[in-house]
Amino acid sequence: MALIVSHGHSVTSNPLKLSAPLGASMAFMGMDGTMPLLHGSQGCTAFALVMLVRHFREAIPLQTTAMNEVSTILGGMDQVEAALLNIAKRTKPKIIGLISTALTETRGEDMKGDLKLILARNPELADIKVIPVSAPDFTGSLETGWGKAVTAIINALAEPASAKAQDCNRVNILPGVHQSPGDIEHLVELVEEFGLKANVLPDLSGSVDGHVPDHFIPTTLGGTTVENARNLGRAKLTIAIGEHMRISAETLQKKTGVPYVLFDRLTGLEASDRLMVCLSTAAGKPVPAKIRRARSQLIDAMLDGHFYFGGRKFAIAGEPDFLWNWAKLIADMGGELAAAVSAVHAPHLTRLPCQQVIIGDFQDMEDQILEAGGADLVISNTNARLSCQSLGVPHFRAGFPVYDRLGGAHRVHVGYRGTRDLIFQLANVLIEHPGHGHGPVHQPHQTTEHDHVAAPALG
Q: Which residues bind other proteins (CB under 8 A)?
A: 9-19, 21-22, 37, 40-51, 53-54, 57-59, 63-69, 71-72, 79-80, 82-87, 90, 101-103, 106-107, 136-139, 141, 212-213, 216, 218, 383, 386
Q: Closer to other proteins at the Cβ: 71 or 172?
A: 71
Establish whether the linkage from the previous residue to 202 is cis, with ω within 30° of 0: yes
Q: In whole angstroms, give the CA distance from residue 456 to residue 426.
A: 8
Return the DSSP state at 122: -
Q: Please name the residue ranges forming H helices in 194-314.
A: 226-230, 246-256, 269-283, 289-309
* Three-state secondary-structure class, residue 337: strand
Least separation in angstroms between residue 283's CB and other proteins is 34
Residue 116 has a CB neighbour count (10 Å cut-off) of 11
Return the DSSP state at 408: G
Upper half-sphere CA count for residue 79 (Cβ side, 13 Å): 25
Q: Closer to other proteins at the Cβ: 1 or 73?
A: 73
- For 17-128, strand residue ranges (E) read 34-39, 63-64, 95-100
Q: Which of 236, 260, 233 is nearest to 168 (CA)?
A: 236
Q: Closer to other proteins at the Cβ: 40 or 418?
A: 40
Q: In whole angstroms, give the CA distance from residue 39 to residue 19.
A: 14
Q: Closer to other proteins at the Cβ: 311 or 444?
A: 444
Q: Closer to other proteins at the Cβ: 41 or 231?
A: 41
Least separation in angstroms between residue 189's CB and other proteins is 23
Residue 228: C-alpha distances to residues 31, 33, 143, 219, 347 (Å):
10, 13, 23, 18, 32
Least separation in angstroms between residue 114's CB and other proteins is 13
179-214 burial by CB neighbour count: b if 16+ within 10 A, else e? bbbbbbbbbbebbebbebebbbbbbbbbbbbeeeee
Q: Closer to other proteins at the Cβ: 32 or 361?
A: 361
Q: Which of 225, 256, 258 is nearest to 239 (CA)?
A: 258
Establish whether the linkage from the previous residue to 401 is cis, with ω within 30° of 0: yes
Least separation in angstroms between residue 25's CB and other proteins is 10
Least separation in angstroms between residue 207's CB and other proteins is 13
Q: Closer to other proteins at the Cβ: 228 or 447?
A: 447
Q: Closer to other proteins at the Cβ: 44 or 430?
A: 44
Say if residue 164 is exposed, middle or buried (CB neighbours under 10 Å; 0-12, 13-18, 19+).
exposed
Q: Closer to other proteins at the Cβ: 98 or 357?
A: 98
Least separation in angstroms between residue 183's CB and other proteins is 23
Q: Closer to other proteins at the Cβ: 44 or 341?
A: 44
Least separation in angstroms between residue 367's CB and other proteins is 10
Least separation in angstroms between residue 108's CB and other proteins is 10
Least separation in angstroms between residue 261's CB and other proteins is 32
Q: In whole angstroms, give the CA distance from residue 263 to residue 385.
A: 30
Least separation in angstroms between residue 389's CB and other proteins is 9
Question: CA angle, 126 as apex, 124 and 137 as ends, to 5°?
Answer: 100
